[in-house]
Chain A
Amino acid sequence: MGALIRLASLLVLIGAWQTAALEAHSRLLPTPLAVMSFIAQEAARGDLAHNIGITLLRVAISFAIAMVLGIVLGVALGRSKATDLTLDTPLLVLLNTPALVITVLAYVWVGLTETAAILAVVLNKLPNVAVIVREGARNLDPGLDEMARAYRLDYRTWVQDVLIPQLQPYVVTAARSGLSLAWKIVLVVELLGRPDGVGFAINYYFVQSTDVAAIIGYSLVFMAVMIGIDVLLLQRLEAHVRRWR
């Protein structure tokens, strides 16, 4: 039933798009079919796979770095009051600096390089992960901590059996919200200073020819890939970490 409603909603959406496009009869609002045919051509040329592959790689690398650093930072912030007080203000500044500013500054200071691009995405995403994980580290069950101390659990066992399972729901939440954030920022970073990737392609078709079919086409394909990753990977991971509930 749920799937049926979802499908109906999707069909209505496409229908409305088709109607509007026919009505407007403009290059600036292409029909769904025009977008599909662009995707087919771009795929045949090999550009589609190349650009999406590059962008995915950037998302993956920066996502991984931001998650690892963000989790470590978040645990440190949640467990130590001194660390929290020291780093709370810089974190707040970073959290409220526009993604665009961080990106431009990274390119200005590091240069128009791959490192600068990855750095920009990591700096944009890291504070979100840290703040979510900090919440988890603050909410550790004091009763279980007391049990761990009374039973003199060694550090490794405490991390594996007591700490990580309590952080998992927060980490998965951070990963899911972080992934969508990361790929949106990667596109901006590519648009501003990379010679390839989905962000570059969208910029190229915009500046060259205002080819809206190309812009929507790229956006649709990449969105589908990211939703696929969320459903196939992250949602399953979430179900896995909640299995004992």
Chain B
Amino acid sequence: MSAAGAESVLHVAIDSKWYRPRGGEPVEAVRDLAFSIRAGEIVCLIGPSGAGKTTTLRILLGLDTAFEGRVAGAEQAGIVFQEPRLLPWRSVEHNVRLGLPRERRGRDLDGLFGRLGLMAWRGSYPKALSLGMQRRVALARALADAPRVLVLDEPFVSLDDTAAAELRSLVVDTVDQTDMSVLMVTHNVAEAIEIADRLLLVSRRPASLIADVPLARPRRTRDRAWAEATRSALAADYPDIIAL
């Protein structure tokens, strides 16, 4: 998928980002973090927790504008937050349609609901669904307007293995069928090795890019032995970020 020369759909260049808590010492959260993502590519941003990964996402989504640098291409991004962040007082269907701009909100979404296995739940309130299903609804909302880029912030944490694997394969299938790109923040290295075309390794605070690691082997041919070898190699090269 990561065909060399494919056009870049998302470009991030954060020179610096400081937090200045009132009455506290200023903290530099991000420094010189720059990367681009090409069409059809799955990129995982990996780093220790508290490393400013979520800050980076907030900046590229335009939720935080107090930083030095430039971001481009995230205007049409679909986003899945760590928590589902659904409106509990609206039906699943209504929540998903909020992912569409008002003028397209009435459009036919049968295909999307069917693909994500949400057909039977369209009229339910989110409270009636398990966390895994709520995450699916959040994913459906992100995919509703067929975004060029999907941004995921630790979307599979606190799910059991089956639910996480199902949700992961839904994301991968969507990428394979469309030309969508994915930027996923995670600290789950095994998960990243399983699905990513490229890993971006980020240091502790202030977050900066340590390595840009392409995983050339096609996703479908990746097996356990390869995954373990890849992980060992990464752990040898970047012991601070990737543990064995």
A interface residue numbers (CB < 8 A to B): 143-144, 146-147, 149-154, 156-157, 161-162, 165, 244-245
Report the separation of the CA atoms of residues A156 and B61 in the bound assembly, to the nearest whole angstrom.
Answer: 22
Report the separation of the CA atoms of residues A147 and B125 in the bound assembly, to the nearest whole angstrom.
Answer: 18
Q: Are A144 and B87 also in contact (CB < 8 A) when A153-B98, A154-B102 are?
A: yes
Q: Are A143 and B102 also in contact (CB < 8 A) when A150-B63, A161-B94, A245-B127 are?
A: no
User: When the two chains form their complex, are residues A244 and B94 in contact, meaning their CB atoms are under 8 A apart?
Assistant: no
Report the separation of the CA atoms of residues A162 and B87 in the bound assembly, to the nearest whole angstrom.
Answer: 7
User: When the two chains form their complex, are residues B83 and A143 in contact, meaning their CB atoms are under 8 A apart?
Assistant: yes
Report the separation of the CA atoms of residues A244 and B95 in the bound assembly, to the nearest whole angstrom.
Answer: 13
User: When the two chains form their complex, are residues B102 and A151 in contact, meaning their CB atoms are under 8 A apart?
Assistant: no
How near does chain B come to A234, taking the closest CB pair, in angstroms?
19
Q: Which residue of B lies closest to A241 (CB)?
A: B89
User: When the two chains form their complex, are residues B61 and A165 in contact, meaning their CB atoms are under 8 A apart?
Assistant: no
Interface size bucket, B side? 10 to 19
Residues in chain B near residue A162, CB distance under 8 A: 87
User: When the two chains form their complex, are residues A149 and B63 in contact, meaning their CB atoms are under 8 A apart?
Assistant: yes
Report the separation of the CA atoms of residues A35 and B61 in the bound assembly, to the nearest whole angstrom.
Answer: 70
Per-residue CB contact flags for chain B residues 56-96 toward chain A (1 = under 8 Å, else 0) read: 00000111000000000000000101010101111000100
Residues in chain B near residue A149, CB distance under 8 A: 62-63
Q: Which residue of A lies closest to B126 (CB)?
A: A244
Q: Are A161 and B98 also in contact (CB < 8 A) when A150-B63, A244-B89, A244-B127 are?
A: yes
B 119-162 contacts with A by CB, 8 A:
125, 127, 141
Residues in chain A near residue B83, CB distance under 8 A: 143
Residues in chain B near residue A146, CB distance under 8 A: 63, 81, 85
B206 at the interface (CB under 8 A from A): no
User: When the two chains form their complex, are residues B79 and A151 in contact, meaning their CB atoms are under 8 A apart?
Assistant: yes
Residues in chain B near residue A244, CB distance under 8 A: 88-90, 125, 127
Given contacts A150-B63, A156-B102, 11 further A-B contacts (CB under 8 A): A143-B85, A144-B85, A147-B85, A149-B62, A149-B63, A150-B81, A151-B98, A151-B99, A153-B98, A157-B98, A244-B90
Per DSSP, chain A at the interface is helix
Interface centre among B79, B85, B90, B94 (most CB of A within 10 A): B85
B interface residue numbers (CB < 8 A to A): 61-63, 79, 81, 83, 85, 87-90, 94, 98-99, 101-102, 125, 127, 141
Report the separation of the CA atoms of residues A153 and B127 in the bound assembly, to the nearest whole angstrom.
Answer: 22
Report the separation of the CA atoms of residues A149 and B79 in the bound assembly, to the nearest whole angstrom.
Answer: 11
Report the separation of the CA atoms of residues A152 and B98 in the bound assembly, to the nearest whole angstrom.
Answer: 10
User: When the two chains form their complex, are residues A147 and B81 in contact, meaning their CB atoms are under 8 A apart?
Assistant: yes
Q: Provide 27 A-B residue pairs closer than 8 Å at the C-beta atoms, listed in order of the A residue.
A: A143-B83, A143-B85, A144-B87, A146-B63, A147-B81, A149-B62, A150-B62, A150-B81, A151-B98, A151-B99, A151-B141, A152-B101, A154-B101, A154-B102, A156-B102, A157-B98, A157-B102, A161-B87, A161-B94, A161-B98, A162-B87, A165-B90, A244-B88, A244-B89, A244-B90, A244-B127, A245-B127
Q: Which residue of A lies closest to B87 (CB)?
A: A161
Report the separation of the CA atoms of residues A154 and B103 in the bound assembly, to the nearest whole angstrom.
Answer: 11
Report the separation of the CA atoms of residues A157 and B63 in the bound assembly, to the nearest whole angstrom.
Answer: 19
Name the 5 nearest CB pairs between A and B, nearest first. Answer: A165-B89, A147-B85, A244-B89, A244-B125, A150-B79
Q: Which residue of A lies closest to B144 (CB)?
A: A151
Report the separation of the CA atoms of residues A151 and B98 in the bound assembly, to the nearest whole angstrom.
Answer: 8
Q: Which residue of A lies closest to B141 (CB)?
A: A151
Report the separation of the CA atoms of residues A150 and B94 in the bound assembly, to the nearest whole angstrom.
Answer: 17
Residues in chain B near residue A152, CB distance under 8 A: 101
Residues in chain A near residue B89, CB distance under 8 A: 165, 244
How near does chain B come to A53, taking the closest CB pair, in angstroms?
37
Report the separation of the CA atoms of residues A245 and B128 in the bound assembly, to the nearest whole angstrom.
Answer: 9
Q: Are A150 and B61 also in contact (CB < 8 A) when A157-B98, A157-B102, A161-B94 are?
A: yes
Residues in chain A near residue B98, CB distance under 8 A: 151, 153, 157, 161
How near does chain B come to A201, taking the closest CB pair, in angstroms?
44
Q: Which residue of B lies closest to A168 (CB)?
A: B89
Report the separation of the CA atoms of residues A214 and B67 in the bound assembly, to the nearest whole angstrom.
Answer: 73
User: When the two chains form their complex, are residues B87 and A165 in contact, meaning their CB atoms are under 8 A apart?
Assistant: yes
Q: Which residue of A lies closest to B58 (CB)?
A: A146
Residues in chain B near residue A154, CB distance under 8 A: 101-102
How near does chain A come to B10, taking the closest CB pair, in angstroms?
15
